[in-house]
Amino acid sequence: MTSDKLRDLELKTDWLLSELSNVFRSFIIIRQCASSSHHQETEIEEEKEEEEEEEEEEEEEEGEEQEKKKYEKDEEEERRGRKRRRRRRRRREEDKAKMEMKMK
């Protein structure tokens, strides 16, 4: 082989190595981007899960609060009912006593 051919082969070899190096660099960059993207997706999913858990907890707390309010309302209605029944009973007894007094 002549020196021109050798030099030409060296240049082509250098160019091929340079292109191969560029391909590897690109591959590494793509892999890093994919890894970074996967990491970001994982973070986004974790944030969504946390938000969903917080929403579920809030809904649960609201449900408990509504149950408590309903229970308190029921208790209040029961209390009012007992007072009403006592008043009616007392009035009947008073009316009965008045009737007995009139009869005597």
Residue 35: its pLDDT value, please?
A: 87
Residue 101: its pLDDT value, please?
A: 86
Residue 1, pLDDT above cutoff 70: no
Helix (H) or strand (E) holding 2: none
**Distances 65 to 5, 40, 70, 75, 77 between C-alpha atoms, Å:** 88, 37, 9, 15, 18
pTM for the full predicted model: 0.44
- The CA distance from 76 to 63, in Å, is 20
Count CA atoms within 13 Å of residue 13 on its CB side.
6
The model's pLDDT over 65-102, given as tens digits with 9 standing for 90+, comes to: 999 999 999 999 999 989 999 999 999 999 988 888 88
Helix (H) or strand (E) holding 1: none
- The CA distance from 32 to 26, in Å, is 10
The model's pLDDT over 8-63, given as tens digits with 9 standing for 90+, comes to: 999 999 999 999 999 999 999 999 988 888 888 888 899 999 999 999 999 999 99
Distance of CA 5 to the CA centre of its chain: 70
State whether the Cα torsion 35-40-41-42 is positive or negative: positive
